[in-house]
Amino acid sequence: MNPVFFYKMSGSGNDFIIIDNREKSLPEENLSKFIMAVCRRRISVGADGVILIEKSDIVDFKWRFFNSDGKIAEMCGNGARCTALFAFLNGIAGSEMAFETLAGIIHASVLPNNLVKIKMTDIRDLKVDFQIEGEKSTLSSLNTGVPHAVMIVDNIEDVAVKELGREIRFHNAFAPSGTNVNFISVLPDQTVAVRTYERGVEDETLACGTGSVASAMITAIKFGLVSPVKILARSGETLRIYFKQDNNTFSDVYLEGDARLIYKAQLCEDALKG
């Protein structure tokens, strides 16, 4: 195996393997298998997803984002913030940049102290307060680059995130591609506590950028929260969501939070062993 150099990065609790693939050094053959192998925790690097940085003819660069199940995804908010920091640290782009994703072009700013702020794609497919077959609780849904369902709960600690999240994620109401699922509670200080079952990871994650944006939009509609909405991720980190609102229409939506370089390393063959 040719050497594969990577950065391990974390965006408020979401962790990613980021590889500079501008020279197409990573073979396309069995790419999905490669991603699933390196994302395994304890017996490989372990991550929520893999990001490949590639050349673009129209902006600074483009990415391909893969969830840990090896499948490509349109967008990942915290992954986008880590990608921006990676590009800045490696001289691929300046502190202000733009890059291609399947959800559209993302604009990002690397701020002091490794804060990264990204402009999200347009909010679409908003649906507020509906029920699905087999569920008593009310849901809302929207697309913040990827689809999200949002459920308001009384106590965030009591939610069976993995069990209920999986049930909603695969429900026929969200077929065929399924949805991410966010459980939210508004705390006394107006911070929104969020727990997310993430599609493609198929488990609860410590944070979700697009899910944080989805949660902020629903709390703005349902509780009158105003920009910036503070989101408390399961990791304990706080994300801030900025936006303009006109009734149920949102524009100029930004996600801001912490991004960290955890380590740089070279992948060894043992990381891919079954």
Catalytic residue among 39, 76, 82, 268: 76
Coil, strand or helix: which one is 112? helix
Tell me the Ramachandran region of residue 29: left when phi exceeds 0, alpha when psi lies from -120 to 50, beta otherwise.
beta
88 touches 97 (CB < 8 A): yes
- How far, in whole angstroms, is CA 21 from its chain's centroid? 21
* 74-118 pLDDT tens trace: 999 999 999 999 999 999 999 999 999 999 999 999 999 999 999
Decide if 268 is catalytic: no
Catalytic residue among 39, 82, 208, 268: 208
* 189-246 pLDDT tens trace: 999 999 999 999 999 999 999 999 999 999 999 999 999 999 999 999 999 999 999 9
pTM (2 d.p.): 0.95
Here the tokens at position 218 are 């629903």
pLDDT value at residue 193? 98
